[in-house]
Amino acid sequence: MGFNFRGLAFKQSMMILAAITVVFGLIFGIMSYKTQDMLDRMTLENGEETSRANVNYIDKLFNAGKLVGDDVASTLGKRKMTKAELDTFLLQSLTNARNLIPQIVAVVLAYEPGMGPETPTDGEFMRLARFSENEIKLITGANYQDKEWYYSTRDGRTSRWQEPFIGEFVPEPIAVYTVPIFQKNKEDENILAGVLAIDMSIDFLKETISEIPVSNSGYAIITSAKNEVVAYPKNIAQGKRNRDVVVKEKRGNSQIDFDRRTRDSSGLFLGTVAGGEESAIYYTTIKSNNWTFMVVWPIEKYLKDQSAMRKLFFALAIGGYGIILVIILLISFRVAKPLKELAVAARKLGRGNFNVTIPQITGRDEISEFAGAFSNMLTELKDHIEKQKDMKRIERELDLARNIQLSMLPGSEHDENSDDDRHELAPFLLPAKEVGGDFYDFFKIDNDHLCVVIGDVSGKGVAAALFMMVARIILRTTTKNLKSIVDAFNRTNFALAKRNKLNMFVTVWAGIIDLRSGHIDFASAGHNPPAVRHKDGTVEFIKSKPGLVMAAMEETVYKPQTCSLLPGDTLFLYTDGVTEATSCQDQLFGDNRLINTLINGGALSPAETCSLVKKEIDNFVQEAPQFDDITMLAVKYSGSDEPVWERYEKTINVNNNDKSGELKSFVEDILTPMDGAKKVQMQDAWDRYEKIVDVIPENQDILTAFVEGILAPMEGSMKSQMQINIAIDEIYSNIVKFSGATQVTLIVEIRKATLTARLTFIDNGKPYDPIKQADPDITLPAEEREVGGLGIFIVKKTMDSVSYRRNGDNNELAITKTL
């Protein structure tokens, strides 16, 4: 199983990693900022801490120096002293000051011109006491008025610390505190008398500075109010002079001289000292003399701290990142692996392998839940397919049932032996998907009576189908036996209603058509009235009163109803599957559409009429599914152009020897009323005689005698008579030998006007059309001759016409002969 870069695991891991990267980045940024800030603050605190004691010490020192200066100046302002007094005072003051502050090395007094003791009006006076080499000396100075320390104090008229310098008399760096001396004149006004200066050695500061311990290779420096370096560790200058030791501040890429006067009293900045390496510099103001105390850390070290901090954090981040990555990958694989296995299983399943093993996944997470569901699905799918198989089997059996049911309906008139010249009939049944309950039926009750039936059992399914078959068979049997449609309806209804626990019912319309006259006796059990298309093209529904549906109530009595067909009329039976065929728009096909379709059909044959109606229904419903069986039955009544024969029947006992007399009187009885005028009238008509005999060889004589008896009065030729006798012999002997019939009816019809006789043999044997038999070869020598088929051949040769038809259960063979 290779790593899938488009897989869920990878995608998920990448997304989580991306999110974590963002979070880490943010944390890193904030942390660096915070670290910087913290380091700055630490540096600041460190600087403050380092400088505090020193600054205090320096402050204390300078404040003391200031106090000394102020005190001495005040004393000088109050009392006018002589030179001697002054020397003593100076000596005393320096001694006192040095007791207090050993760094004070000199007390200097300079008067305004003319203001000094014992001084000419424009004369200078400058006297100083100086400590040098463990003794104090008094020195007289001059030319001080253009010295900065003097004129700045004189002009400013306030005390101040001067910028440190190496003094004229004190050859070492000194800090000088200068104080103006005011004396009262005669007008009691304060006037400036001179300037007192206290010189403090600041060499000690260099010692002090060097000794201040500063962490991280740092050091301290002190600058004056004018940013001149006052004190610094010796190793910094490296031979440079004081004025070269300049503190510069970094502003962007350039460096400018640091000027504390433009800044807060303390703070931190980046810069260099004496052109050295870049450093972080803390500064604070020494308040007493307005100097600046600075703590300097070389930046390299400072940055090292920061980058160490960053490195640590980065390492932590990378480590965490790695761990998270590993965990994510583990989880992803944990998720992806079973999913992949499930996918493989699903693929196999898709190919129809239902025995595929579902990977067992333990645990209670979503994956195992899914695997469980998948496993369930497989089981249920199996069950479902088994059920489907069962369903299929049931469906097949239902189909079978349907087929049996449909195959029991007569398919064509030929099957039912009900076809004849006087009508044409076509059934149509298109079953809906389920086994339905529609049915039709047609059969002949006798030669001249055709029964047509259409029905619809309530409901669908096997029950409806069984019910339909039972109803159809009972109705058929009772109609054939009772020869009355109403009686058959009553009987059938009773039979069905009696054991009808399921409360099913069936609507039926059935009619018996007299094929000779077109008269119909019919009954309706709640069925739609059939339509009739007349020969003139008009169409109407038969006035049919629907009785109660069959099988509803045992005692239902159906009313006999009648109607008539004229030759050329077509009777159209149908079920509600036709009129209630539903379109996609939920519209019904309806009576009017049916009527219009039948009108449009014109003089179509019954089969074509059914097809047309079906086509119209299809056009109407379009894609809508067929819910109900569509059943139709159309009968076209052609009628008979022959006059109705009067029919006489006589059955004689062939065992009775007196048979010829009986026959003779039978025929005479029939013919006697035809005497006279009536007889003449009848000459144009066919006379008809009928003889029914059992099929035994001996009855041939009876038939021959019957025919001879009828034909004799015609006075035809002997030859014709003889040929007719031979024909009777051949036909009857064929029936006896081959048909398996039990009864033969011979109908003899004669037409006196044309001296024509027609003999029709009707037997109930198996279907046999002798005309279709091949003629025997009559040219062969005697040895190769067969006698089979010769008889019919003779008949064909000697008679004027021979015709055959199968009528119902009977063979009808008719021959005609001119006598």
CB of 790 to other proteins, least distance (A): 4
Structure tokens given for 379: 């089981």
Closer residue to other proteins in complex, CB, 569/730: 730
CB of 704 to other proteins, least distance (A): 9
Q: How far apart are CA 607 and CA 604, in angstroms?
A: 8
Q: Which helix (H) or strand (E) holds 600?
A: helix 590-601
Q: Is 810 in the site for other proteins (CB under 8 A)?
A: no
Closer residue to other proteins in complex, CB, 528/699: 699
Total residues at the site for other proteins (CB under 8 A)? 28
Query: In sequence order, what E strands does 465-576 have?
Result: 506-514, 519-525, 531-533, 539-541, 561-564, 570-574
CB of 722 to other proteins, least distance (A): 4
Sign of the dihedral through C-alpha 343, 348, 350, 351: positive
Among 41, 184, 615, 785, binds other proteins (CB under 8 A): 785
Closer residue to other proteins in complex, CB, 290/704: 704
Closer residue to other proteins in complex, CB, 88/725: 725
Q: Is 725 in the site for other proteins (CB under 8 A)?
A: yes
Closer residue to other proteins in complex, CB, 645/793: 793
Q: Is 660 in the site for other proteins (CB under 8 A)?
A: no
The closest alpha carbon to 320, from 21, 677, 753, 663, belongs to 21
CB of 754 to other proteins, least distance (A): 22
Among 479, 524, 798, 810, binds other proteins (CB under 8 A): 798
Q: Report whether 309 contacts 315 (CB < 8 A).
A: no
Among 420, 569, 628, 730, binds other proteins (CB under 8 A): 730
CB of 812 to other proteins, least distance (A): 21
Q: Is 654 in the site for other proteins (CB under 8 A)?
A: no
Residues 9-28 that bind other proteins (CB under 8 A): none
Closer residue to other proteins in complex, CB, 132/725: 725
Q: Which helix (H) or strand (E) holds 51?
A: helix 8-78
Q: Report whether 200 contacts 176 (CB < 8 A).
A: yes
Closer residue to other proteins in complex, CB, 384/719: 719
Residues 680-709 that bind other proteins (CB under 8 A): 697-698, 700-701
Q: How far apart are CA 181 and CA 386, in angstroms?
A: 126
Phi and psi at residue 551, in whole multiples of 5°? Answer: 80, 5
Structure tokens given for 809: 């259960």
How are beta strands 173-184 and 810-818 bridged, if at all? unpaired
Closer residue to other proteins in complex, CB, 335/790: 790
CB of 800 to other proteins, least distance (A): 14
Q: How far apart are CA 572 and CA 534, in angstroms?
A: 11
CB of 708 to other proteins, least distance (A): 12
Structure tokens given for 6: 């488009």
Q: Is 791 in the site for other proteins (CB under 8 A)?
A: yes
The closest alpha carbon to 452, from 435, 439, 464, belongs to 439
Closer residue to other proteins in complex, CB, 644/718: 718
Q: Is 783 in the site for other proteins (CB under 8 A)?
A: yes
| Residues sharing a CB contact under 8 Å with residue 670, sequence separation 6 or more, in sequence order | 648, 689
Q: How far apart are CA 666 and CA 651, in angstroms?
A: 10
Q: At what angle do helices 659-671 and 699-711 cross, to 10 degrees?
A: 30
CB of 664 to other proteins, least distance (A): 21
Each residue 157-176 as x (binds other proteins by CB under 8 A) or -, in order, gives --------------------
Q: Which position has the token pair 């006489």?
A: 648
Q: If you write DSSP's letter for every residue of 672-732 in order, what string do you get?
A: GGG-HHHHHHHTTSEEEEEEEEES-TTHHHHHHHHHHHHHGGG---HHHHHHHHHHHHHHH
Among 595, 726, 755, 814, binds other proteins (CB under 8 A): 726
Closer residue to other proteins in complex, CB, 168/698: 698
Q: What is the dihedral of CA 510, 514, 518, 524, to 10 degrees?
A: -20
| DSSP 8-class letter at 550 | B
Q: Is 114 in the site for other proteins (CB under 8 A)?
A: no
CB of 567 to other proteins, least distance (A): 41
The closest alpha carbon to 762, from 708, 814, 706, 696, belongs to 814
Phi and psi at residue 302, in whole multiples of 5°? Answer: -60, -45
Each residue 202-231 as x (binds other proteins by CB under 8 A) or -, in order, gives ------------------------------
CA 772 to chain centre: 70
Among 797, 800, 803, 818, binds other proteins (CB under 8 A): 797
Closer residue to other proteins in complex, CB, 661/697: 697
Closer residue to other proteins in complex, CB, 69/791: 791
Select the span of 265-273, 635-643, 724-732, 801-809 touching other proteins (CB under 8 A).
Answer: 724-732
Structure tokens given for 78: 């109050």
Q: How far apart are CA 685 and CA 688, in angstroms?
A: 9
Closer residue to other proteins in complex, CB, 292/723: 723
CB of 665 to other proteins, least distance (A): 25
**Longest C-alpha distance within the chain, in Å?**
218
Rg, the chain, Cα only? 73
Closer residue to other proteins in complex, CB, 667/731: 731
Task: Give the count of beta carbons closer than 10 Å to the beta carbon of residue 93.
Answer: 22
Closer residue to other proteins in complex, CB, 514/708: 708
The closest alpha carbon to 526, from 538, 544, 511, belongs to 544
Among 20, 212, 466, 790, binds other proteins (CB under 8 A): 790
Q: Which helix (H) or strand (E) holds 194?
A: strand 190-201
Q: Which position has the token pair 């940013």?
A: 227
Q: Is 677 in the site for other proteins (CB under 8 A)?
A: no
Q: Is 655 in the site for other proteins (CB under 8 A)?
A: no
Residues 367-396 that bind other proteins (CB under 8 A): none
Among 232, 706, 732, 761, binds other proteins (CB under 8 A): 732
Q: Is 89 in the site for other proteins (CB under 8 A)?
A: no
| DSSP 8-class letter at 420 | B
Among 723, 760, 810, 811, binds other proteins (CB under 8 A): 723
Structure tokens given for 244: 């070269």
Task: Give the count of beta carbons closer than 10 Å to the beta carbon of residue 596.
Answer: 13
Residues 733-752 that bind other proteins (CB under 8 A): 733, 736
Select the span of 193-201, 359-367, 616-624, 791-799 touching other proteins (CB under 8 A).
Answer: 791-799
Select the span of 24-32, 47-55, 383-391, 784-792 touching other proteins (CB under 8 A).
Answer: 784-792
Which residues face 281 on adjacent strands? 269, 296
Residues 759-778 that bind other proteins (CB under 8 A): 778
Task: Tell me how many helices (H) and strands (E) the chain has.
Answer: 18, 28
CB of 429 to other proteins, least distance (A): 48
CB of 481 to other proteins, least distance (A): 37
Among 719, 753, 754, 800, binds other proteins (CB under 8 A): 719
Residues 446-475 that bind other proteins (CB under 8 A): none
| Residues sharing a CB contact under 8 Å with residue 805, sequence separation 6 or more, in sequence order | 420, 812
Q: Is 201 in the site for other proteins (CB under 8 A)?
A: no
Binding site for other proteins (CB under 8 A): 697-698, 700-701, 718-719, 722-723, 725-726, 729-730, 732-733, 736, 778-779, 781-783, 785, 787, 790-791, 793-794, 797-798
